[in-house]
Amino acid sequence: MPGTDTGEAAAVVFGELPEFPHLPELPDRGVGADVIGRTAALLVDLAVEVVPSGYRVTAKPGRHHRRAVDLLRWDVDAFGEEAERSAPSVVKTQLAGPWTLAAGVELVRGHRVLTDHGALRDFTDSLAEGLAAHVAELAERTGARVVVQLDEPTLPDVLAGSLPTPSGYGTVAAVSEPRAREILAGVVDAARSATGCPVVVHCCAHRPPVGLLRSAGADAISFDATLLDGAPGKLLDEIGEAYDAEVTFLLGLVPGHAPAERPELKRLARPAFDLVDRLGFARSTLAERVVPTPACGLAGATGEWLRKALSLTRDLGKAFIDPPEDW
């Protein structure tokens, strides 16, 4: 979300999405507020610092790590205060998945964490432990069940071997799908054990690895549905198999920035209807299996569009339940 005011962000979320509020992320605050720094704040017995190339492992928490911890604490405090007034039954929190985290943090030598099997395992175990503590705190502060969303925007690059090395002249070796599945599944299982709730895995890349996310145990899969034009048959097959297996989909349908023209609900819903039509499922299943969302975050939105976009996602959900006849 845009802005730097945690209290205002929490109030907007509870005002616009009272049935499924999420812990806001405010990357405009800088170091420690982005998805990598925010997730690093949850790590147990591991710390990061900021160097010119990004986040790097460090021996003990310094000012950058402490700032990330403080920012997250302030977010939870503001969210908890709003929850006391609203008494939600379920809330959602988001953090980087293991592969995005391991790709976004460097070892002391400058190589990415994912290139070292031991370091990757340490980060994965630390993430699972920190996630459990974070969920327990949110549940205590809100009195609600907690749904965890793991954000894996970098996973396709990890699988493709397209991440640059420290020199910039080469690329990091591709990670095999079985290995990627194994590591991701471990954190998905840890999140499910900590919450007792379904786990969402989100990937807003152009071609998300839906089949891998499903086989890693994701109960719900989130991606940008507006990017499906021209999608290869393999991706559509994977989506269809997951849909048939009753995986829930969080479909990104509402743009992250205000469009030039006033958005019509029918036009925003079109990718979802086109998808189920193409896969051969009844449109009525959208009400049971699809949650409309913004396409991929709202950090670049204006305050006005932020509220409008969240309101539109709620309206889309209602339209899936009772779609107009001319849709």
* Residue 293 confidence (pLDDT): 97
Mean pLDDT of 71-85: 98
260-263: long-range pairs with CB below 8 Å, 24+: 263/312
For residue 322, pLDDT over 90 is answered with no
Q: Please answer whether residues 147 and 222 qualify as being in contact, where contact means their C-beta atoms are separated by less than 8 angstroms.
A: no
Mean pLDDT of 29-58: 97
- Residue of 213, 188, 191, 211 whose CA lies nearest to 202: 213
Model's pTM, two decimal places? 0.96
Helical packing angle, 303-321 and 6-16, nearest 10°: 20
* Residue 27 confidence (pLDDT): 97
Domains annotated for the chain, with CATH where assigned, are: 78-321 (3.20.20.210)
Mean pLDDT of the chain: 96
* Residue 324 confidence (pLDDT): 78
* Residue 323 confidence (pLDDT): 82
For residue 325, pLDDT over 90 is answered with no
* Residue 278 confidence (pLDDT): 94
- Please list, in sequence order, all residues whose beta carbon lies within 8 angstroms of the beta carbon of residue 15, skipping any fewer than 6 positions away: none
Name residue 221's beta-bridge partners.
201, 249
Q: How far apart are CA 78 and CA 167, in angstroms?
A: 42
In order of 15, 24, 83, 233, the CA distances from 88 in angstroms are 12, 15, 6, 40
In order of 140, 150, 308, the CA distances from 134 in angstroms are 10, 13, 30
pLDDT tens-place string over residues 206-221: 999 999 999 999 999 9
Percent of the chain with pLDDT over 90: 95
Q: How far apart are CA 172 and CA 183, in angstroms?
A: 17
133: its two tokens = 């503590």
* Residue 141 confidence (pLDDT): 97
| Residue 49 confidence class, pLDDT cut points 50, 70, 90 | very high
* Residue 167 confidence (pLDDT): 85
pLDDT tens-place string over residues 240-274: 999 999 999 999 999 999 999 889 999 999 999 99
Mean pLDDT of 299-315: 95
Query: Helix/strand/coil (H, E, C) string of the chain?
Result: CCCCCHHHHHHHHHHHCCCCCECCCCHHHCCCCCHHHHHHCCCCCCEEEEECCEEEEECCCCHHHHHHHHHHHHHHHHHHHHHHHHCCCEEEEEEECHHHHHHHEECCCCCEHHHCHHHHHHHHHHHHHHHHHHHHHHHHHHCCEEEEEEECCCHHHHHHCCCECCCCCCECCCCCHHHHHHHHHHHHHHHHHHHCCCEEEECCCCCCCHHHHHHCCCCEEEEEHHHCCCCCHHHHHHHHHHHHCCCEEEEEEECCCCCCCCCCHHHHHHHHHHHHHHHCCCHHHHHHHEEEEECCCCCCCCHHHHHHHHHHHHHHHHHHHCCCCCC
pLDDT tens-place string over residues 175-199: 999 999 999 999 999 999 999 999 9
pLDDT tens-place string over residues 281-297: 999 999 999 999 999 99
pLDDT tens-place string over residues 271-282: 999 999 999 999
* Residue 55 confidence (pLDDT): 97
How far separated are the first and last CA of the chain, in Å rounded? 31
Percent of the chain with pLDDT over 70: 100
pLDDT tens-place string over residues 55-70: 999 999 999 999 999 9
112: its two tokens = 């990415």
